[in-house]
Amino acid sequence: MFSVLRNATYRRLFAAQIVALIGTGLLTVALGLLAYDLAGGNAGAVLGTALTIKMLAYVGLAPVINALLARWPKKPVLVGADLVRAAMALSLPFITEAWQIYVVIFLLQSASATFTPAFQSLIPTVLPDERDYTRALSLSRLAYDMEALASPALAAVLLTVMSYNNLFLGTVAGFLFSAAMVAMSVLPRVPAAEAPQASLWHRTTLGARIFWRSRRLRSLLALNLVVAAPTALVLVNTVVYVRDVLQRPDTDLALALACFGVGSMAVALSAPPLLERLGDRTVMLTGAAVVPLVLAGAVAISWTAPRSGWWLLLTLWFIMGAANSTILTPSSRLLREASTEDTRAYVFTAQFSLSHACYILAYPLGGWVGAVAGLGWAAAGLTIVAVIGSAGAFLSWPRHDAAGTGDRAGEEQDSGQPAPQRSRARR
């Protein structure tokens, strides 16, 4: 897996991703403490509003920003987005009102909605070989999981010697380092994404239209819903399971979240040989079949709180993380195969936007239903969401279309030009 780091350009981009992720993790911790300073017991409402603004920026702005910047070279777009993120993070220690948090978060996440799809769509061009690209996807998944474990631990250590406001400086440093790594990289030239006569509306909706005309990408859209359900349950309600349902100490919250991350990392490490042997469809739909079953186990814990519930919770969280990773790790392979160099940025942006739209449904379902009707009903609602997504994924990606036949026609119709020859992928 790590042999892909011999590519100097990818090595710099991967380093930029890791450091920016760590900085974002520090931002999450510091933002929570800042919200508590400003709002006290209403800090949860402040953070909930900030997360909603984040998702709305991702869903609503990403396609528009990509359409406006599609003809720009990738390097200044990426560097500029990192500099905006650094400037916004630098302003956070000076905030004195809750509404100021909302403005800064909107601008910061708008920059992230610019950076992330552009960065993801660049990697297939840097690593044209499919095996190398699959290894890069596994490394990227591993980086996200490691950040989820390492950033809180690093923040805890730093908070013993400094105030939380200084954590924002770590975020600034992460984004500046990311900008420097991108600036130092020799990026391949990516052709303009659309003909000059294409309207802004055509370019804004191009990715979504390609999604709709591709059976595999329609399946991926349903799989995004499957992923959102357990992610929402884990992020929103793990603390409730640990403290209220199972009566465990605060330190066990970190252990439960770590089990989810370790399960995801285990699959990310083994993904390249699994995908080579079984193909995308088998691996991803296996995860889609497992997630509803595990969520049903979480429903059982909610309503029965068995004596062995703690160990059952850890096991379910591990399996949930692993099942999520079987869907998330290969997903970019589908985007790469269903796009040309001309349409790739639009397809990756559509995935970025549409996948986050699923969280706008899942987060409130996990949080608000849990608060009003109880944790069991929240878990049951998320289980239903996962079942619907899983059924849609199986129906949209029939076995006879495992090689993606039929996807290219819609692609050519949208882009106005024939799709180039792709590397042959085992499906």
287-303 pLDDT per residue, tens:
999 999 999 999 998 88
Model confidence at 44, pLDDT cuts 50, 70, 90, reads: low
Query: Which CATH topology does 207-405 take?
Result: Growth Hormone; Chain: A; (1.20.1250)
Instruction: Give the whole-angstrom CA distance, residue 72 versus residue 178.
Output: 19
* pLDDT above 70: residue 351: yes
| CB proximity list for 307: less than 8 A, separation 6 or greater | none
Q: Average pLDDT, stretch 317-324?
A: 94
* pLDDT above 70: residue 414: no
Q: Average pLDDT, stretch 272-277?
A: 88
Model confidence at 285, pLDDT cuts 50, 70, 90, reads: very high
Q: Average pLDDT, stretch 242-246?
A: 82
Inter-CA distances, 372 with 366, 367, 376, Å: 11, 9, 11
**Tens-digit pLDDT profile for residues 1-36:** 577 888 899 999 999 989 888 888 888 778 877 877
CA 99, 103, 108, 112: dihedral to nearest 10 degrees? 110
Instruction: Give the whole-angstrom CA distance, residue 255 versus residue 234.
Output: 12
CATH fold match for the domains 1-188 and 207-405: yes
Say how far residue 269 (Cα) sits from the centre of its chain: 18
What residue has token string 């996990």? 366
Number of C-beta neighbours around residue 266 at 10 A: 15
Q: Average pLDDT, stretch 278-288?
A: 93
Q: Which of 93-97, 159-163, 264-268 has the lowest mean pLDDT?
A: 159-163
Domain map of the chain by residue range? Answer: 1-188, 207-405
Higher pLDDT, 235 or 216: 216
Is pTM beyond 0.85? Reply is no
Q: Are 238 and 256 in contact (CB under 8 A)?
A: yes
User: What angle separates helix 344-373 from helix 215-240, to the nearest 10 degrees?
Assistant: 40
Q: Average pLDDT, stretch 162-171?
A: 86
**Tens-digit pLDDT profile for residues 128-139:** 888 888 888 888
Give the pLDDT score at 425.
40
Structural class in CATH, domain 1-188: mainly alpha
Tokens (6 digits) for 112: 């992230």
Choose from 72-76, 195-199, 294-298, 340-344 the range with maximum mean pLDDT. 294-298
**Tens-digit pLDDT profile for residues 299-314:** 998 888 777 788 999 9
Q: Which of 186, 45, 208 is nearest to 126 (CA)?
A: 186
Give the pLDDT score at 51.
74
For the chain, what is the radius of gyration of the CA atoms?
21
